[in-house]
Amino acid sequence: MTTATGKAKLTKSDLMAPPVAQTMQQRSLVIGVIGAAASVAGAFLVPGSFYSAYLIGFMFWLGLSLGCMAILMLYHLVGGAWGTVIRRILESGMMTLPLMFVLFIPILLNLPKLYSWARPGLLADPKTDPKILEIAHSYLNFNGILVRYILYFVIWYGMAYFLNRWSTEQDSTAGQSTLRFRAMSSIGLVVYSLTISFAVIDWVMSLQARWISTIYGLLFIAGEALSAFCFCVVIESILGKRKPISEYLTDTEVHDHGKFMLTFVMVWAYFNFSQWLIIWAGNLPEEIPWYVHRMNGGWEYVGLFLVVFHFAVPFALLLSRQLKRKARTLVWLASWLIFMRIIDIWWHIEPASHPALHISWVHFTIIAGIGGLWMAYFFHNLRSRPLLPVNAPQTLRLLEPTHE
């Protein structure tokens, strides 16, 4: 870009989402409702598959909401044009948390279907490992899960609510300080990493109640951040061809999003490998069952598929500068990685309930059902405000001419 070419003249109404966002919202809602109805039927037709499939869908879409929140906080702390252009996308994504709050209730009401520590029969059995009884008595029980579930969502939604509300306030009042965003985000990132760690211990790690891994929360943090960046690339490729995003989104920002994708692909692999190496090296009976479950009964192929297509191939492709700089090429890899995120969560959750490779139609309807509702909510949020925070100092910098 060599000249301003009238970029700074964009007004609030110019920056509203294009009509395609409304179309997407309506279609998402249709897909969501059909998917949800099919999934409810699935709960009665295939109850043996439903609950673990539901947890997979819940964890994936929750991860996207929280990933958006974490990336937004990162942006408020470090700044940069890469974040200004996706800030409203991130804010709209994290403001879907109320939906995820409601969608946890089916899990809460069916804990024994998923978690061995919640099964009265197992707890009454004198042969049960006393350690399980101790855990179930002190921490992993209905009241504990209920209290912590409410606490997590109050904290997450509280942080998201204020970041989002202040952002809306920026649209109406110019010249506000950005200090409160930074203060909230610096505390928020710490709080998020702690709460998500506890949450995945409660909801995912406890599927095998005796098994413990101290890096487990980080696996999800890395995955959620990756999901969020891939999601932003997908959205910017849908909306980016049209005004207003086509007016300010340049290859440089897309390139940055590609670099972040590469970073989080590597971080994901790094954390997963760390867990694997330590357990492999220790070779202890209480640590290895998690991998024994996931390296037998056909799950080993899923694991191998993850190594190759969640890490190796995306890593090699993302080294390419040409691929990263264009939204229309990067979007293919971003979509693929979103798919691999779901496979990863499937590989985490499903082997705990099914020793042999297991998938059913209800897995697809749940991903589509929750996803459709999530996307409709997202587009609803996105359409309610300009696609850039119009008075934010970062926006003014973005719309300035490049050379002074």
Partner 1 sequence: MSDSPVHSSNYGPNYGPIDSPIYGLMAEFDSAQELVTAAHKTYAAGYQQIDAYSPFPIEGLAEAIGFHKNRVPLVVLIGGLIGGISAYALQYWVAAITYPVNVGGRPYHSWPSFIIVTFELTILFAGISSAVGMLALNGLPMPYHPVFNVPEFAKASENKFFLVVFSSDPKYDAAGTRSFLNGLAPRMIAEVPS
Does position 281 bind partner 1 by CB under 8 A? yes
| Residue 281: CB minimum distance to partner 1, A | 7
Does position 6 bind partner 1 by CB under 8 A? no
Task: Give me the DSSP letters along 59-76.
Answer: HHHHHHHHHHHHHHHHHH
Chain length of the chain: 404
**388 Cβ contact list (under 8 Å, min separation 6):** 10, 15, 84, 85, 87, 88, 244, 248, 395, 398
**Of 331, 374, 324, 372, whose CA–CA distance to 238 is shortest?**
331
Q: Using CA atoms, how far apart are residues 66 and 367, in angstroms rounded to an integer? A: 17
Rule CB under 8 A: choose which of 109, 120, 126, 403 binds partner 1.
403
Spatial contact of 93 and 68, defined as CB atoms under 8 Å apart: yes
H runs (alpha helix) in 139-250: 142-172, 179-203, 216-239, 245-248
| Residue 88: CB minimum distance to partner 1, A | 24
**205 Cβ contact list (under 8 Å, min separation 6):** 211, 212, 213, 216
**Planar angle of CA 13, 18, 20, nearest 5 degrees:** 160
Does position 277 bind partner 1 by CB under 8 A? yes
Does position 273 bind partner 1 by CB under 8 A? yes
| Residue 283: CB minimum distance to partner 1, A | 7
Rule CB under 8 A: choose which of 11, 22, 23, 402 binds partner 1.
402
Does position 8 bind partner 1 by CB under 8 A? no
Does position 304 bind partner 1 by CB under 8 A? no
Spatial contact of 327 and 252, defined as CB atoms under 8 Å apart: no
Of 208-216, 220-228, 277-285, 364-372, the segment contacting partner 1 by CB under 8 A is 277-285
**Of 242, 400, 278, 257, whose CA–CA distance to 337 is shortest?**
257
- # binding residues, partner 1 (CB under 8 A): 15
Of the two residues 273 and 301, which places its CB atom closer to partner 1 in the complex?
273
Name the DSSP class of 357: -
Of 161-169, 231-239, 384-392, 395-403, the segment contacting partner 1 by CB under 8 A is 395-403
Mark residues 223-262: x for contact with partner 1 by CB under 8 A, - for none.
Answer: -----------------------------x----------
Does position 285 bind partner 1 by CB under 8 A? no
Of the two residues 282 and 355, which places its CB atom closer to partner 1 in the complex?
282
Report 317-346 residues binding partner 1 (CB under 8 A).
Answer: 319, 321
Of 142-150, 239-247, 269-277, 304-312, the segment contacting partner 1 by CB under 8 A is 269-277
| Residue 129: CB minimum distance to partner 1, A | 26
> CB neighbours (10 Å) of residue 195?
19
Query: What is the contact surface with partner 1 in residues (CB under 8 A)?
Result: 1-2, 252, 273, 276-277, 280-281, 283, 319, 321, 401-404
